[in-house]
Amino acid sequence: MKLLVVGSVALDSIHTPFGDVTDALGGSAVYFSTAASLLTQVRVVGVVGDDYPMAELKKLEGRGVDLSGVEQARGESFRWKGKYSFDLSSRETLETRLGVFADFKPKLPAGYGDTPYVLLGNIHPDLQLSVLDQMKGPRMVACDTMNYWIDSAKDRLMEVLKRVNLLIINDEEIRQLSGDWNVHRAARWVLGQGPQRVVVKRGEHGALLVEKDRSFFCPAYPLEEVFDPTGAGDAFAGGFLGYIARSSDTSNAGLRRAMVYGAAMGSFAVSQFGVGGFEGVTPAVLQERVGRFKDLTHFDMAEAVA
In the complex, the residues that contact its own copies under the rule CB under 8 A are 38-39, 86-89, 181-182, 184-185, 188, 202, 205-206, 208, 214-219, 222-226, 243, 246-247, 249, 253-254, 256-257, 259-260, 282-284, 286-287, 290-291, 293-302, 304-306
Q: Which is nearer to its own copies, 15 or 292 (CB)?
A: 292
Q: Which is nearer to its own copies, 47 or 286 (CB)?
A: 286
Give the dihedral of Cα atoms 53, 55, 58, 60; nearest 10 deg. -80
Query: Sign of the CA dihedral 221, 92, 231, 261?
Result: positive
Q: From edge to edge, which strands make up the β-sheet containing 66-72?
A: 66-72, 42-48, 3-6, 117-120, 140-143, 166-170, 197-201, 206-210, 215-219
Q: Which is nearer to its own copies, 24 or 281 (CB)?
A: 281
| Separation between Cα atoms, residue 228 and residue 244, nearest integer Å | 26
Q: Which is nearer to its own copies, 151 or 225 (CB)?
A: 225
Q: Which is nearer to its own copies, 57 or 260 (CB)?
A: 260
Task: Tell me how far, at minimum, the Cβ of 246 lies from its own copies, in Å.
Answer: 7
Q: Which is nearer to its own copies, 58 or 184 (CB)?
A: 184
Task: Tell me how far, at minimum, the Cβ of 140 lies from its own copies, in Å.
Answer: 18
Task: Tell me how far, at minimum, the Cβ of 148 lies from its own copies, in Å.
Answer: 22
Task: Tell me how far, at minimum, the Cβ of 31 lies from its own copies, in Å.
Answer: 19
Task: Tell me how far, at minimum, the Cβ of 102 lies from its own copies, in Å.
Answer: 35
Task: Tell me how far, at minimum, the Cβ of 72 lies from its own copies, in Å.
Answer: 33
Q: Which is nearer to its own copies, 110 or 305 (CB)?
A: 305
Q: Which is nearer to its own copies, 134 or 182 (CB)?
A: 182
Task: Tell me how far, at minimum, the Cβ of 127 lies from its own copies, in Å.
Answer: 32
